[in-house]
Chain A
Amino acid sequence: MSKIDSVLIIGGSGFLGLHLIQQFFDINPKPDIHIFDVRDLPEKLSKQFTFNVDDIKFHKGDLTSPDDMENAINESKANVVVHCASPMHGQNPDIYDIVNVKGTRNVIDMCKKCGVNILVYTSSAGVIFNGQDVHNADETWPIPEVPMDAYNETKAIAEDMVLKANDPSSDFYTVALRPAGIFGPGDRQLVPGLRQVAKLGQSKFQIGDNNNLFDWTYAGNVADAHVLAAQKLLDPKTRTAVSGETFFITNDTPTYFWALARTVWKADGHIDKHVIVLKRPVAICAGYLSEWVSKMLGKEPGLTPFRVKIVCAYRYHNIAKAKKLLGYTPRVGIEEGINKTLAWMDEGL
């Protein structure tokens, strides 16, 4: 076989999932598209999604349930499974273990049981990050022994499980993609978060010296990488080089953290006349203070040492491997991506 007959997108109702539906829908010839998630597709979709909802088959179920997963795989007759289900950052560690580790173990086991050929897993560029600067990292950088948080730890464990499951002798091929800083229509963290910062009048503060390079990736490009990975794994000529591998996926245009933030604010019509710069050590102290005061008041702190470290760290990547082996190039640039995201937000869905 050399084409995608049917694809099952686990987590297909989510932010990245919708972009995956779109990218798979645009393939010629179009595969059958099935979604497995705990919740239905959103009732109202952004105008930017052009796929036909009626063509998408939905399977409701629990990711950790073998029966639910087996039924979905069998009904979809999928030869390709994409697993992009993941809780958002900032939640209870237990949820990460259940979804990212137990859930992924279940996906792998059921794929093998049902004779699925291809599994593409959405990992995270964060798996190699533990607070230290990441300068132009490629896939040879190691997973840190001490993880930064539960999210990154469980993503790394899941990634490892997926790659170890790669088994050409039983016609089962796996790959893990590590996108960095995903944003786009449907994003409820990155761009909306920045917009909120401006509304609260906090955009006049700059934490750190704005010399740290940061990678953002437009969601449509991430989805495109998944399609490419699946196609490479289906092709006997390319699957050997690609299977069992990880790939960083970015927009290939890292830039300074606050330049990205200010581009969002500018596109929103917001430009600060004067910027107050807080150096990293000062900001970390302020973070501890903020955390302490918020705890006293029983509120969620806006500034934390964790966030300061995130904002001040270099985190950019070398995607030569994805370009060479997957044939990946980012089709939507950062500025265009930001404008698309703001347009989606203005739809008020």
Chain B
Amino acid sequence: MGKLLQLALHPVEMKAALKLKFCRTPLFSIYDQSTSPYLLHCFELLNLTSRSFAAVIRELHPELRNCVTLFYLILRALDTIEDDMSIEHDLKIDLLRHFHEKLLLTKWSFDGNAPDVKDRAVLTDFESILIEFHKLKPEYQEVIKEITEKMGNGMADYILDENYNLNGLQTVHDYDVYCHYVAGLVGDGLTRLIVIAKFANESLYSNEQLYESMGLFLQKTNIIRDYNEDLVDGRSFWPKEIWSQYAPQLKDFMKPENEQLGLDCINHLVLNALSHVIDVLTYLAGIHEQSTFQFCAIPQVMAIATLALVFNNREVLHGNVKIRKGTTCYLILKSRTLRGCVEIFDYYLRDIKSKLAVQDPNFLKLNIQISKIEQFMEEMYQDKLPPNVKPNETPIFLKVKERSRYDDELVPTQQEEEYKFNMVLSIILSVLLGFYYIYTLHRA
């Protein structure tokens, strides 16, 4: 009942949830072509490891769906090895460093995870993944193998890094490097897959900062949000260069007397994360296949919503914070166009600004960073020019102009959904009115 009540209190989100569930037609489906039992099993594994992410991947264009599914599962397998504390140290290092070589095999699996490890099935059933991996186009296989190698080595390096294990991340640069290995590389790999599929211009891959920012923005958002959870698990990912400005020890923020300092630190980390937004918007403007656009856009709009949620939020220091399910539905529907994404970012940036206190040590810096993003959004569309002034045909303006053609193609779909929703709503209301009418007649 909690969820229904939450939805009822937010009618716009309620409408979005209903539309998403009943009115929307998926772009693609996993059943639209002959699907082998091994591939079906891979989809099951995907659903098992990340239900929400699985829903997005399943709707990808057939050209990319299978290889992104496998890419995800392979990296999840790597993660499962890295996270498992029960695996003997040397074996773990060896597995991580040579995991990419397993992809060359036709038969391999790993049964060494502890029984309680959540995603161990990905490794015990790795054979299904291998079978399907070898069916991919060679160029897709090459990308996945290369990223797996880099990520595996990165993970191994962190495990062996005594300074990191003892003291955590020191500088903002360390923080960026860590996020690069955990998430930036994923952005790298996905971008190459998208470009190979010709769903985006090649220039998307020539600017490393763009796809790097796609990964870092998501990862930093999660790191900020998961402060309490990570600390309880004995881990920490906030960079000392930032948190040491506010407290001698990271765990000090849990104390009530240090709450304001903790909030200032959260806000400082949000400021750092916001430096990626312009790159994110630039990246999204460069994608022209619709299912791929949605696949990339959904996590990013979730991230900005989460940043707005954690900003100046004391709950972060004491537990879990999450955006409402209804908000998620609303964001998924609205983020299908670039214009929709920009409006979402704009909305949440203003939300952050409205929560920004003058006392905040980064008050002006945050205002300037938000303003800079707003100025960039203006440059993207340039729709507030006086008469007779032509837009500046900057690279981003031209990209957005091209992307707008695809946005326009989506309008009929959105209108149809709105029509369906209104039609059903009308019918329901008519039936209710009918019953009410009969009831009043009966009473009279």
Is the pair B386, A142 in contact by a Cβ cutoff of 8 Å?
Answer: yes
Is the pair B392, A263 in contact by a Cβ cutoff of 8 Å?
Answer: no
Is the pair A136, B375 in contact by a Cβ cutoff of 8 Å?
Answer: yes
Is the pair B368, A132 in contact by a Cβ cutoff of 8 Å?
Answer: no
B4 adjacent to chain A (CB < 8 Å): no
B374 adjacent to chain A (CB < 8 Å): yes
B258 adjacent to chain A (CB < 8 Å): no
Is the pair A213, B374 in contact by a Cβ cutoff of 8 Å?
Answer: yes
Please indicate the chain B residues that have their CB under 8 angstroms from the CB of A40 in the complex. Answer: none
Binds A, one of B39-47, B174-182, B357-365, B426-434: B357-365
B82 adjacent to chain A (CB < 8 Å): no
Please report the C-alpha to C-alpha distance between residue A161 and residue B367 in the assembled complex, in whole angstroms: 38
* Residues 230-272 of chain A, each 1 if its beta carbon lies under 8 Å from chain B, else 0: 0000000000000000000000011110011011011000011
B409 adjacent to chain A (CB < 8 Å): no
* Residues 382-404 of chain B, each 1 if its beta carbon lies under 8 Å from chain A, else 0: 10111011101000000000000
Is the pair A136, B388 in contact by a Cβ cutoff of 8 Å?
Answer: no
B378 adjacent to chain A (CB < 8 Å): yes
- For chain A residues 120-168, which have a beta carbon within 8 Å of chain B? 132-133, 135-136, 138, 140-142
Report the tally of A-B residue pairs with Cβ distances under 8 A: 65
Cβ-closest chain A residue relative to B384: A135
A106 adjacent to chain B (CB < 8 Å): no
Is the pair B363, A263 in contact by a Cβ cutoff of 8 Å?
Answer: yes
Cβ-closest chain A residue relative to B354: A210
Please report the C-alpha to C-alpha distance between residue A133 and residue B385 in the assembled complex, in whole angstroms: 9
Is the pair B368, A141 in contact by a Cβ cutoff of 8 Å?
Answer: no
Please report the C-alpha to C-alpha distance between residue A262 and residue B360 in the assembled complex, in whole angstroms: 12
Is the pair B371, A256 in contact by a Cβ cutoff of 8 Å?
Answer: yes
Please indicate the chain A residues that have their CB under 8 angstroms from the CB of B389 in the complex. Answer: 140-142
B320 to chain A, nearest CB (A): 31
Is the pair A266, B386 in contact by a Cβ cutoff of 8 Å?
Answer: no
Please report the C-alpha to C-alpha distance between residue A142 and residue B386 in the assembled complex, in whole angstroms: 8
Is the pair A256, B392 in contact by a Cβ cutoff of 8 Å?
Answer: no
B355 to chain A, nearest CB (A): 13
Is the pair A262, B390 in contact by a Cβ cutoff of 8 Å?
Answer: no
Please indicate the chain A residues that have their CB under 8 angstroms from the CB of B370 in the complex. Answer: 255
B383 to chain A, nearest CB (A): 9
The 6 closest A-B pairs by CB, nearest first: A259-B367, A135-B384, A255-B371, A136-B378, A255-B367, A263-B364
**A–B pairs, 19, beta carbons within 8 Å:** A135-B384, A136-B379, A136-B382, A140-B392, A141-B385, A142-B389, A253-B368, A253-B371, A254-B371, A254-B375, A255-B368, A259-B363, A262-B358, A262-B363, A271-B358, A272-B358, A316-B371, A316-B375, A318-B379
Q: Give chain A's interface residues, CB within 8 Å of chain B.
A: 132-133, 135-136, 138, 140-142, 210-211, 213, 253-256, 259-260, 262-263, 265-266, 271-272, 316, 318, 320, 334-335
Q: Give chain B's interface residues, CB within 8 Å of chain A.
A: 350, 353, 358-359, 363-365, 367-368, 370-372, 374-375, 378-379, 382, 384-386, 388-390, 392
